[in-house]
Amino acid sequence: MDTKMEEVLKFELKEILEGMTSSSGGSSEQSVSGRPEKSVARGGENAEEPREGGQESVVVEKRGDFAAGCRWTIGQFTKTKARTLWSRYFEVGGYDCRLLVYPKGDSQALPGYFSIYLQITDPRGSSSSKWDCFASYRLCIVNQNDDSKSIQRDSWHRFSSKKKSHGWCDFTPSSTILDAKSGLLSNDSMVITADILVLHESVSFSRDIDFQAVAAPVPDVLSGKFTWKVQNFSLFKEMIKTQKIMSPVFPAGECNLRISVYQSSVNGVEYLSMCLESKDTEKSAVQEKSCWCLFRMSVLNQRAGSNHMHRDSYGRFAADNKSGDNTSLGWNDYMKMSDFLSQDMGYLVDDTATFCASFHVIKETNSFSKNAGQLIGRGNARKSDGHLGKFTWRIENFTRLKDLLKKRKITGLCVKSKRFQIGNRDCRLIVYPR
């Protein structure tokens, strides 16, 4: 047989055997005692299209359609000169996943740190198409001498066409890995594992066109309803005890909001917690974007004739809390976890839960001018020294807001204006509609 042909056949046979190993399940070792080291996971620099590679062996263990474990062995680790290493892609929940490492750290890392990221892309569309998916994940450098001393960290992120990578620039000091006694290298090989859960979800959004601005070319959404259906909730049942699942964002006035769900212990009782969060999806030239919002959050009951769970609240949302506004409003004790999980109650049916947020944002305009007059004293006028100004706040469709409050039997509610500053003091106007 021709030598070249024999080499090709051997290569193809090797690929088939590796595929059989993957389908029969790889090592499910994970493990580490105690709480993981806390660190903020974030997007990786140059992680979109790494330019270099390394020797590798990847074994993937499928755990259903939306969960998988990956075991990546990097050979000749200390000999590689590559700045970036990446694993091959593997599929989880219909998305392509791979791991990225920077042995000497990426540009965001402190000197002497090892960086590692998870990257997720959508194979069904081009790089310019819009998509997003929520994933919870754990990345781990395996201690090959003592599994309990492995280094692992957990995080969660909503991946999208704009934010494909998430992880840690300061995962661990490189010196720890290179220490011969650490057990993180064996025969110059490093083993990295990843455990990934992808949320199976669908969303719908409707806007109330009766109360929208008509003068602007692209009017803000002032009133609407966002529905988020989670179809594999049990997969995240343990995860939400320490982390949270988050919906895609939806527009509300000047802000983008999302639903966040997690579990809390209040006075020894476990509760399903739910809140509405503001999320700045892109940088804007508009300073201190915010909106005042009356909202209702619901867990829909899927049994015919049964009542949904509703709770109402209100507040001014902003992309950050620098102006003293809220980035998150909701309830740690939204409803008892036992009621939510009970098969008899009807909130969780066939592993599916449906969360909903309906909202009304006031349409408002304001203007502010400092030194809008003169200070008068003892008959002599003098120029203002910055302690005088005029703030004008206009709220449109005010009766609509009052009608909503009356319908929902909400009293004592106050509406706060955007902030303005006089004499280095932050000020607001407050209105009580009822």
Whole-model pTM: value is: 0.80
Question: What's the start-to-end Cα distance of the chain, in Å?
Answer: 91
Contact 350, 229 (CB under 8 A): no
Q: Is 426 left (phi over 0), alpha (psi -120 to 50) or beta?
A: beta
Instruction: Print pLDDT tens along the chain (434 aa).
Output: 444 444 433 333 333 333 333 333 333 333 333 333 334 566 654 444 444 444 468 999 999 999 999 999 999 999 988 999 999 999 999 999 999 999 999 999 999 999 999 999 988 765 557 899 999 999 999 999 999 999 999 999 999 988 999 999 999 999 999 999 999 999 999 999 999 999 999 999 998 865 444 444 446 789 999 999 999 999 999 999 999 999 999 999 989 999 999 999 999 999 999 999 998 766 554 557 889 999 999 999 999 989 999 999 999 998 776 766 888 999 999 999 999 999 999 999 999 999 999 999 999 998 988 765 554 554 554 555 567 888 999 998 888 888 888 888 888 888 999 988 888 888 999 999 88
- Rounded CA-CA distance 308/12 in Å is 57
Task: Give SS3 for 298.
Answer: strand
Q: What pLDDT, on a 0 to 100 scale, did the predictor assign at position 282?
A: 60
Span(s) in the chain for CATH 2.60.210.10: 52-198, 201-362
Instruction: Give, in order, the Cα–Cα distances in Å from 183 to each of 58, 140, 142, 162.
Output: 20, 13, 8, 37
What is the token pair recorded at 422?
């006089």
DSSP string of 180-223, one letter each residue? TTSSS-BTTBEEEEEEEEE--EEEEEEE-GGG--SSSSS----E
Task: Sheet containing 190-198: give its strands across.
Answer: 56-62, 67-74, 190-198, 132-141, 151-160
Show Cβ contacts of residue 346 under 8 Å, excluding neighbours closer than 6 positions.
Answer: 301, 302, 303, 306
Choose the CATH number for 52-198 among 3.30.1320.10, 3.40.190.10, 3.40.1280.10, 2.60.210.10: 2.60.210.10
Q: Which CATH number fits domain 201-362: 1.10.10.60, 3.30.70.360, 3.10.20.30, 2.60.210.10?
A: 2.60.210.10
